[in-house]
């Protein structure tokens, strides 16, 4: 079954949006994601620019500047809400994990 667009976020989607809490260029995102994840998550440039287009189309981000070929983007309220929803979803998953393993350890 296909995943509904933006219902849940991949790691690349999540960290791209997280970078855009302040205006960023695509190249900034390519540098920031590995830095903030201790190189656990990397985004290829093709993937990043596809995500940026999708996020623009979905009104999750907006373009805030252009310098030649460089474009900067920032989160919209819709994008902030998506990040919040995703954090709540992941927190619930983590709580479920701990609940199950705590029960297992009590037995």
Q: What is the pLDDT of residues 18-45, one digit of tens each?
A: 999 999 999 999 999 999 999 999 999 9
Position 85 scores a pLDDT of 95
- Give burial (CB, 10 Å; 0-12/13-18/19+) of 8: middle
Position 2 scores a pLDDT of 45
- Global pTM? 0.86
Low-confidence residues in the chain, pLDDT < 70: 1-6, 104-107
Position 1 scores a pLDDT of 43
Domains in the chain (CATH in brackets) are 11-106 (1.10.10.10)
SS3 101: helix
Q: Token pair of 92, please?
A: 């619930």
Query: Which residue from 53, 51, 56, 65 is spatially nearest to 23, judged by alpha carbons?
Result: 65
């Amino acid at each position: 079954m296909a995943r509904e667009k933006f219902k849940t976020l991949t790691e690349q989607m999540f960290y791209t949006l997280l970078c855009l809490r302040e205006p960023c260029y695509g190249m900034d995102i390519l540098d920031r994601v590995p830095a903030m994840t201790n190189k656990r998550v990397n985004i290829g440039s093709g993937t990043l620019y596809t995500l940026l287009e999708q996020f623009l189309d979905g009104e999750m981000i907006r373009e805030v500047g252009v310098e030649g070929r460089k474009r900067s983007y920032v989160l919209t309220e819709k994008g902030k809400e998506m990040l919040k929803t995703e954090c709540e979803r992941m927190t619930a998953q983590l709580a479920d994990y701990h609940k199950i393993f705590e029960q297992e350890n009590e037995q």
